[in-house]
Amino acid sequence: MKRIKKEDFIENLKEALEIEDDKTLTMDTNLKDLEEYDSLSVLVIVAMLDKKFGKQISSSDFEKVTTINSLINFIGEKYFE
Amino acid sequence: MGEKIRKIEYYLPEKIITNKDIYYSKEIANEKGQIDENLLEKRISKLEKSTGIKERHIVKEGETALDIAQKVSEKILQKYDRDKIDFIILCTESPEYYLPAGACILQDRLNLRKNIGAFDFNLGCSGFVYGLVLAKSFIQNNIAKSILLITSETYSKLIYHKDKGNRTIFGDAAAAVIVERSKKDQIGKFVLGTDGSGYKNLIVPNGGLHRRYNPSAKEIDDGAGNIRTENNFFMNGTEVFNFTIKVVPELFFQILEKNKISLENLDYVIFHQANKYMNEYLRKKIGIPKDKYYLNLLYTGNTVSATIPIAIRNALDDGTIKKGKKVLLAGFGVGYSWGGTVITI
């Protein structure tokens, strides 16, 4: 199984969530605090998890997601290099 | 001998709400109380791109789902002998009363014959497909010959005024079809499904008989700035998207199999129009070519059980589908409930 680089994942996430170019996202960025974060962001993340990792995230698990790091932890370290 | 959809019409209530109407608020005002027009335009543009919705129609104060059901019925009966109608079925989740059924009241308001059947049923996004199930069955079993099936929804009355997310997505509308006997089988075989474990994810918790309307209901913030109360409509976006990803691709292929048709031989696909992002995701996941896939909720929003008949009518009007074409229909959502078939225009 091809592992994906964490930096690439963050870049994909930034693009998918349509975050402004001049903003830097790090592992510690709290997704829900981002200005661009809205109810569509939820769909974007669900879609990404399905498409890239074949995973589903329940709404209760999603509630626990805060930083990008916590999202990566949910997906599972084994998917990342 | 079979059944077919003979006529389709839809009605959109007059009042139009734009994205600007919903998002023009104090939150994007500066210290002087002036709205940052640029920020507003940017937000609205992003919203329109992802939801695929620019405007939606809503009923006015005092206007109900039954009223617009009546309006669309009058429209469809303009060029059809109403004395031929021997059954009327109304699909709605915003009933006029707990009792009697709206369809009974419509019989009287529309001046239809009295020796006919009438009832309501309560489904949302899967409603039109289930309505076809009923209509086809009744005609096949000689219970009726000419059925007036109406889907009518007014979620605007159920959504909290501060719930920007849902106010953006949903619109009010009514659609009507007349289903008749026909020489050929023009309504295909159905695939249906239900999963009640998802009932909490699309719901109006209070106001029924389980929990009465609570005049002191507290406001609940979903964390993304959408506020509701338990008296109002609630949709769990994550769970509903999970549900559609799991169920809809399988539903699609089951419909093809049951109707012994391939994607290549299908002329067109009309899914329930939920929102652009989700509908596009499903299209890509299933592998339906863009030119075979209806996607348009720009001026209506998600009109629940009316999205499919509205789509069929629009596709007929702009020439996308014509007589003889095979169109797959699939509805999925509140319940959870889902279903689909292939119709021949």
**Tokens matching residue B68:** 């617009």
pLDDT at A40: 85
Summarize pLDDT for B279-302 with one digit per residue, the tens: 999 999 999 999 999 999 999 999
Within 8 A of A55 by CB-CB distance, chain B residues are none
Å from B116 to nearest chain A CA?
45
Mean of the pLDDT values across residues B87-100? 98
Interface of B with A in 245-304 (CB under 8 A): 245-246, 275, 277-278, 281, 285
Shortest CA gap B176–chain A (Å): 31
pTM of the model: 0.95
In this predicted structure, the answer to whether residue B27 has a pLDDT above a threshold of 80 is no
Q: Which residue of A has its CA nearest to B241?
A: A43
Catalytic residues of B, which ones? 125, 272, 302
For A31, phi then psi, to 5°, come to -55, -45
Kindly report, residue by residue over B140-197, the tens digit of the pLDDT: 999 999 999 999 999 999 999 999 999 999 999 999 999 999 999 999 999 999 999 9
Structure confidence by residue, pLDDT tens digits, A13-72:
999 998 888 889 999 999 988 888 888 899 999 999 999 999 999 999 999 999 999 999
Is A60 at the interface with chain B, CB within 8 A?
A: no
User: B203 vs B58, B120, B162, B225, CA distance in Å?
Assistant: 20, 19, 17, 19
- From the CB of residue B111, how many other CB atoms can be counted at a distance below 10 Å? 9
ipTM for the assembly: 0.92
Q: Does A39 touch chain B (CB under 8 A)?
A: yes
> Between B237, B246, B281, which is nearest A39 by CB?
B237
Nearest CA in chain A to B164: A39
Q: How confident is the model at residue B35 (pLDDT cuts 50, 70, 90)?
A: confident
**Count of C-beta atoms within a 10 Å radius of residue B157:** 16
Q: Which residue intervals of A1-81 are DSSP H helices?
A: 6-16, 39-53, 59-64, 68-75
